[in-house]
Structure 1
Amino acid sequence: MKKVLEVKDLKISFDTFAGKVHAIRGVSFDLFEGETLAIVGESGSGKSVTSRSVMQLLSSNANIDSGEILFKGEDIVKKTEKEMQGIRGKEIAMIFQDPMTSLDPTMPIGKQVAESLVKHNKISKKEGLKAALELLNLVGIPNAEKRLKNYPHQFSGGQRQRIVIAIALICYPEVLIADEPTTALDVTIQAQILELMKDIQTKINTSIIFITHDLGVVANVADRVAVMYGGRIIEVGTSEEIFYNPQHPYTWGLLGSMPSMDGGEERLYAIPGSPPDLLDPPTGDAFYPRNEYALTIDTEEAPPFFEVSSTHKAATWLLAPQAPKVEPPVEIQRRWKIYEEKQAAKQG
């Protein structure tokens, strides 16, 4: 598969009154043509900062200390603001979390959807509105032609999010970054928006980076999943591998905190403690203070990635050859069993 985007050893810090916050501490990942990569983690793990760095939309107190973000073989980090303006919206687009703050309340939605296309492709406003109408129909806005002149407040929350998606897609970008696009929506509308994004992706063959804290959302959307904690990616694999063969204790905790669909009466697991203070990042594994399976080496040295399969790797000392065997939570053992059965069925 062709690589659309490569992030290599990205390190980002923020200057604050309290000192330098080391928000991203060596993040690397690839995005392939036509795939959806979900980046998952709790608040403060670095998901949104990573995605915004791809768009070069970081705040003024942010510093990209080192690393590369390669798009079409060129390093985005080295591009000027003027060069980025030619890329944003046209080749890499972003859907933000809250549609009401993403839309201009004083501008009709037809004009807002068409604006990026008119600017980048140098077409007339009439042609832009025609293209906007096609996109609004594609994302499922009812009576789209009659509603081109309506304003954001005249639409429901779900419809506003569809409009934001239309704005992001109007130039048919190669990369679409969706930063928690369904957080403010109820579950039914959330499912519709996720289904819409999958449908559109197959039609225009765009590659999606999907940012979320909700692993339940990821299951139906992602081809691959990267789990973030403390400014680092700590496990990455296919959606099936992360859900049914997780290896990092933090991933175990995330999956254990999800309600089970089989109607079991077990209490949901809550990961103890709080995320690390990135003003003074730990020298070892950032998760060790909250990790009941932590080893002595976790306090001294950050683990490297250990390969589980050609598509699956995790940064935990539990995968080291000399590590003791531990009994993971019952829920994880259940998932491992399902995974083994699935693999056996594929081979048989």
Structure 2
Amino acid sequence: MKEKILDVKDLCVNFKTHNGNVQAIRGASFDLYKGETLAIVGESGSGKSVTTKVLMGILAKNGEIASGEALYKGVDLCKLTKKQFVAFRGKEIAMIFQDPMTSLNPTMTIGKQIKEAVLEHTKLKRHDAKLRTLELIELVGITNPEERYRQYPHQLSGGMRQRVVIAIALACEPKILIADEPTTALDVTIQSQILELIKSLQKQIGLSIIFITHDLGVVANMADRVAVMYAGKIIEYGTVEEIFMSPAQPYTWGLLASVPDMANKDIDLYSIPGAPPNLLYPPKGDAFALRSEYALKIDFEEEPPLFKITDTHYAATWLLDERAPKVEMPESLKKRAQAMAKEALAYGSK
């Protein structure tokens, strides 16, 4: 049986604004196992990045954890002070952000930036820290480490800079790596190289990864399990095959069907109608009900629980209740979604 390394339970996060409290995370629960990759997917504003910022202790000043817990090795991350997180961050959990240029200091050489991360959390002397830095530069696939050590971020390509960011994240040998849209700012070819690098490093080091993305092709390539997030809640989760081939939540149907079909470019792109709710005033019942043509009367009155489909697949939709009418994913959406899923899963298995 796999070892559970992280357990997030009923996490609630609010942001104080002039207009009131934005309930950004509304009872999100998920777990992470040793050596696996969990992808968290959903539209912008669904709460993906906020959730991971809680795990890193880097919530904005107006953000507060209202309730819930995030257990790592028996420690509740939600209760750590800023000072405690300084010692914890990097050594136990590290993060890669979207744009490497915003993560790197343009006035410092990349060698110095990586070495500072090494010195921060290890007892290595400066000479040994430099040797470790050169090892890390080589580990992330950058050639001529001695030369690169002396260069500045602007002297490197976008792909090289992201490799440097990964080297910094791995400097203290963390157990969990959070990757928040790490390839969005890169072109397709470089994106593929960075994803392969992360997969390779995971096997070498035994990392557990939380991968934040809106790109379902990336999910198929990277993930073991998928958590679908909407309006601050996890509304469906399961193995990558279950989510791609047997989705149960109408929102997940829409996400899969809205991926462009590159083999049939003449087909109009599907778009989920409407927009996510304003979390200043979260709707009663199922937050997706107003956008779903399959919503039942109860969806507007009561929030659905997570129904068990298999031992690994759960979804929050009243359509799974034994009293509900039998509604399946429309054939038109199913064909589009399954074609995309088969192509993505085939790519992911390479």
TM tier, smaller: over 0.9
Pairing 1:124-273 to 2, within 5 Å after superposition: 124-263=125-264, 265-273=266-274
Offset of residue 87 of structure 1:
0.8
The match for 1:109 is 110
User: How far apart in 2 are the matches of 1:181 and 1:92?
Assistant: 16
The unaligned stretches of length 5 or more in structure 2 are: 342-350
Offset of residue 264 of structure 1:
6.4
Q: Secondary structure at the match of 2:16?
A: strand
- The TM-score normalised by the length of structure 2 is 0.94
Is this contact kept in 1: 2:259–2:340, CA < 8 A? no
Are residue 313 (structure 1) and residue 337 (structure 2) matched? no
Is this contact kept in 2: 1:109–1:152, CA < 8 A? yes
Write the deviation string for residues 127-164 of structure 1: whole angstroms up to 9, x where unpaired: 11211111111111122221101010100111101110
User: How far apart in 2 are the matches of 1:264 and 1:156?
Assistant: 32
Offset of residue 262 of structure 1:
4.2
The match for 2:63 is 62
Taking structure 1 as reference, are residues 324 and 53 closer, same or farther at Cα in structure 2, changes over 3 Å only?
Answer: same
Amino acid at match of 1:289: L
Taking structure 1 as reference, are residues 4 and 316 closer, same or farther at Cα in structure 2, changes over 3 Å only?
Answer: same
The match for 1:71 is 72
User: How far apart in 2 are the matches of 1:338 and 1:222?
Assistant: 16
- The TM-score normalised by the length of structure 1 is 0.94
The match for 1:343 is none
User: How far apart in 1 are the matches of 2:153 and 2:111?
Assistant: 10
Q: Secondary structure at the match of 2:105?
A: coil
Taking structure 1 as reference, are residues 4 and 233 closer, same or farther at Cα in structure 2, changes over 3 Å only?
Answer: same
The match for 2:18 is 17
User: How far apart in 2 are the matches of 1:199 and 1:264?
Assistant: 33
Q: Secondary structure at the match of 2:221?
A: coil
Write the deviation string for residues 210-267 of structure 1: whole angstroms up to 9, x where unpaired: 0111112111000000000000000000011111111100110010011235446422
Q: Secondary structure at the match of 1:286?
A: coil
Amino acid at match of 2:195: L
User: How far apart in 2 are the matches of 1:32 and 1:289?
Assistant: 35
The match for 1:345 is none
Offset of residue 332 of structure 1:
4.8
User: How far apart in 2 are the matches of 1:331 and 1:255?
Assistant: 12
Offset of residue 78 of structure 1:
1.4
Amino acid at match of 2:121: H
Write the deviation string for residues 155-192 of structure 1: whole angstroms up to 9, x where unpaired: 01111011101100111100001111011111111111
Amino acid at match of 1:132: T
CA RMSD across the alignment = 1.7
User: How far apart in 1 are the matches of 2:309 and 2:263?
Assistant: 28
The match for 2:96 is 95
Write the deviation string for residues 78-110 of structure 1: whole angstroms up to 9, x where unpaired: 112221111101111000111001001111101
Is this contact kept in 2: 1:227–1:234, CA < 8 A? yes
User: How far apart in 2 are the matches of 1:238 and 1:331?
Assistant: 24
Q: Secondary structure at the match of 1:267?
A: coil
Q: How many residues align?
A: 340
Is this contact kept in 2: 1:244–1:338, CA < 8 A? no
Offset of residue 330 of structure 1:
2.3
Stretches of 4+ moved more than 3 A in 1? 261-265, 331-339
Taking structure 1 as reference, are residues 152 and 47 closer, same or farther at Cα in structure 2, changes over 3 Å only?
Answer: same
Offset of residue 47 of structure 1:
0.2
Taking structure 1 as reference, are residues 336 and 324 closer, same or farther at Cα in structure 2, changes over 3 Å only?
Answer: farther
User: How far apart in 1 are the matches of 2:306 and 2:339?
Assistant: 24
User: How far apart in 2 are the matches of 1:135 and 1:119?
Assistant: 15
The match for 1:120 is 121
Amino acid at match of 2:272: I
Q: Percent identity?
A: 62
